[in-house]
Amino acid sequence: MPIVTGQDSARTRRSLSAGGQGVAYYSIPAAEAAGLGDFARLPAALKVVLENLLRFEDGGRTVSLDDIRAFAAWATDGGKSTREIAYRPARVLMQDFTGVPAVVDLAAMRDGIVALGGDATRINPLTPVDLVIDHSVMIDEFGTPRAFQLNVDREYERNMERYTFLKWGQKAFDNFRVVPPGTGICHQVNLEYLAQTVWTDTDQTGETVAYPDTLVGTDSHTTMVNGLAVLGWGVGGIEAEAAMLGQPVSMLIPEVIGFRLTGAMVEGTTATDLVLKVVQMLRAKGVVGKFVEFYGDGLDHLPLADRATIANMAPEYGATCGFFPIDDETLRYMQQTGRDEDRIALVKAYAEAQGMWRGPDYAPVYTDTLELDMGTVVPAVSGPKRPQDHTPLDQAARGFHNVVCEYRGIDTTLEAREMAGEGPTPAPDASANPRKSGQVAGQDYELHDGSVVIASITSCTNTSNPYVMIGAGLVARKARALGLTRKPWVKTSLAPGSQVVSEYLEAAGLQEDLDAIGFNLVGYGCTTCIGNSGPLAPEISQAIHDNDLIGVSVLSGNRNFEGRISPDVRANYLASPPLVVAYALAGDFNIDLTTEPLGTDRDGKPVFLKDIWPTNKEIADLVHATVTREAFLSRYADVFKGDEKWQAVETTDSLTYDWPATSTYVQNPPYFQGMKSTPGTIADVTGARVLAILGDMVTTDHISPAGSFKDTTPAGKYLVERQVPVREFNSYGSRRGNHEVMMRGTFANIRIRNEMLAGVEGGYTTGPDGQQMSIFDAAMAWQAQGTDLVVIGGKEYGAGSSRDWAAKGTSLLGVKAVIAESFERIHRSNLVGMGVVPFEFTGGDTRRSLDLRGDETFDIEGLSGELRPGAELPCTITSADGGTRTITLKCRIDTEVEIDYVRNGGVLHYVLRNLASAA
């Protein structure tokens, strides 16, 4: 299906020859020559957005000349703009946890358009979509040669309904491809194979057009591909569905923060150490909703794999994306990973023609800047529950001690004074030691606070980087040679981001060393990072719970939010793959790895981290010898074919889906049932009761957890009632195609704390009768009374993943508004996309300053009138004793088109009505 370029954009259309082909393109210098403004010093990331508008300029229907001129004004107005623009990404990337509900929505929209008298084929992706199945493999088996095959077998047993549905979608929808299980993590497959940096396609004139490769993805770490100069970021599934159906992404011209990198990494440090420092700095800077672009001569010493690591964690530092301009390293990586030589030539010629090439004279204008000398980066971890909690490795054990003290209610003030040289530490008192321990049944060891029970090389962040993966293998080799192995209580796992990783680890002979100390291949997928760590051994789990121990996980991932990794683990730390191996050998987070031994060798001599840590040259030599173009070409030759299990999955041919009534994985959602052909209005919030009062940094993991759940939860009871055994529960993430499960899982994280209930963890609140009950049960009780609901939050509400179920579940529970101090970008957009209105406190008001208890009622006026983006509206709070007070809330419906979305009940309702009326 050809792209449709703007009818009025011919003034900037030019021709370019490269790699033996001639292409048309939309020239930024031509726009300058046409008098539209001076764009020369725009950051490369913003030039990508500008080109998008040049290509789709249509006389003001969606893109006007004033939109284009606004980019020139951005450069002269301090890198800021209030201009709303319509942006169209070239493609969409999905993974199965977020992709299944998106395909469910598309199937439901086909039913909906038929009910409105339209044609089912109108619901069809206009933008190419790739869905990579990578979130479903769970680590049931580990530490043995059979782990990979057994985990794959269980994956298919658990997920056959979902895979059958996805295969139906691949047949039913055009422009929709599925990468089968066992291939790799979506972001690494995107980086290594799908992404082209400069895309080409034919337009309605039949001519080939070149333009920047851009995308949105239903996973927040879609940003990883910005390391390859591909502009992409995560959105909720509902926003991605609108994009694939031809709806432009509505956005303001973003601020762009320039992050200048200088110097080079020093011996003993890794890309993980660098990105954890970057996350800390940018979180402190405050970059939510902004682009970050990396520049400076430090990039001359930064391999693309390291750039991708930094770009990957943009959601952790809060930015929309972390972009790296095209340069020689971009071209080198494309050649190494098997891209066509003509494509590589086109990328260079296009970047130079558009002023997007990073050379020695690259010096754009930025909204603001900050700087890091990479030579100052030190080995580090981040935790125990936020990626930005950066801790130098030599302070990690002390930091964990403070975590234990805080959990046990021990005052650390005196210790802090002593460390600062302000006073002596009191004499040791054994009774004041906060650390607990407990014997493990049937074993000759005991666990204690700080025992590392999970050590996992996992996630897209690091397993795409051969430098840290080879580094981990070399640590394993040196440890094995000295006779060290993992401690028996540590669950170890290796889940590479793609099959290419296995290729070079085997070529280097390192997989044998990793196997020898327990890091056997468990699958190709997200595993531990998404909460698919699988169960711990029963006796270890029992010891943790019987003794209320603070178990620790160490993972090479990007997320360590509360309750995400394992229900048995309270403290989760992000670290480089080599450090993950080291902590598996030590088995204890109380050990200072910089000064204390990891264990003893065969002769009983202590072995320190420095004894098994490889040099940068050792790592680089093996990377250069084993990471080859041929490996990439071989492993991606049949990327869409899959193994025999995938090929054996059978499905039907039909335009609409025959929803199986008994399925507990895929159900027809209620969003479009009974929908009328005309939109409604936005109603004021009247007499709303509080469902939950939540604190700062409430993540989408808190709102909609992805991991396992028990039979005593509302979701578990639902499945038990349908004769699903506990062993087959799978996870919330795998059940996202069933709204009944997901409604019951909303606000159900085991670590969430509702401030309406003192000292209670988990998804509980007070119901209409004033009694404690699950949030789901309370919401249903309020709905039965016809009562609106609101949720109250603190700062950075909705941080973390792009999961749309955090907004869908909120909507289905009957929540009309979420009132918080601030919102993370994606979740705010998702709430609007589901018709839930986000509001921010103003004037210094907070839930605490207002002393909210949860027994108040809320009335918000002004939504039903002539609502404007960002309007400030009055909210009357009536307390239980009848007293009232009125505060001002800022409505975070940010654009005019978002107002239309909410009037329609959500973005998909808006698109569906438009498609039905145009049929």
The per-residue pLDDT for 97 is: 84
Query: Is the peptide bond preceding residue 384 cis, with omega within 30 degrees of 0?
Result: yes
**What is the reported pLDDT for 431?**
43
Supply the DSSP string of 280-328, one letter for each residue: HHHHHH--TT-EEEEESGGGGG--HHHHHHHHHTHHHHT-SEEE--B-H
Count, in order, helices (H) and strands (E) of the chain. 31, 34
Low-confidence ranges of the chain (pLDDT < 70): 1, 412-433, 919
Of 163, 132, 128, 319, the residue nearest 240 (C-alpha): 128
Taking the CA atoms of residue 902, residue 908, residue 911 and residue 912 in that order, the dihedral angle to the nearest 10 degrees is -120
Residue 74: name the closest of 266, 274, 256, 336 by CA: 256
Instruction: Read off the tokens for 830.
Output: 């998702």
For 144-154, how does the pLDDT look when each residue is reduced to its tens digit (9 = 90+)? 999 999 999 99
The half-sphere exposure of 422 on its side-chain side, counting CA atoms within 13 A, is: 6
DSSP summary character for residue 10: G
Position 61 scores a pLDDT of: 85
Residues 6+ apart with CB under 8 A from 640: 177, 178, 179, 180
CA 355, distance to chain mean position in Å, is 31
The confidence score (pLDDT) of residue 426 equals: 46
> What is the Cβ-side half-sphere exposure of residue 272, based on CA atoms within 13 angstroms?
36
The pLDDT, as a whole number, for residue 707 is 84
Q: What is the pLDDT of residue 422?
A: 53
The predicted pLDDT at position 9 comes to 78
Whole-number pLDDT of residue 704:
94
Determine if residue 837 is left, alpha or beta; phi over 0 gives left, psi from -120 to 50 gives alpha, anything else beta: beta
- Which pLDDT does position 527 carry in this prediction? 86
Containing 598, the helix (H) or strand (E) segment is none
* Residue pair 393/594 in contact by the 8 Å Cβ criterion: yes
User: The pTM is what?
Assistant: 0.87
Distances (CA, A) of 523 to 193, 224, 499, 520: 19, 21, 10, 9
Query: What pLDDT score does 674 carry?
Result: 83
CA angle 588, 592, 596 (to 5 degrees): 95
- 3-class DSSP state for residue 103? helix
Kindly list the structural domains of the chain, giving each domain's residue range(s) and its CATH number in brackets, ordered by start: 183-376 (3.30.499.10), 390-420+439-630 (3.30.499.10), 685-706+753-918 (3.20.19.10)
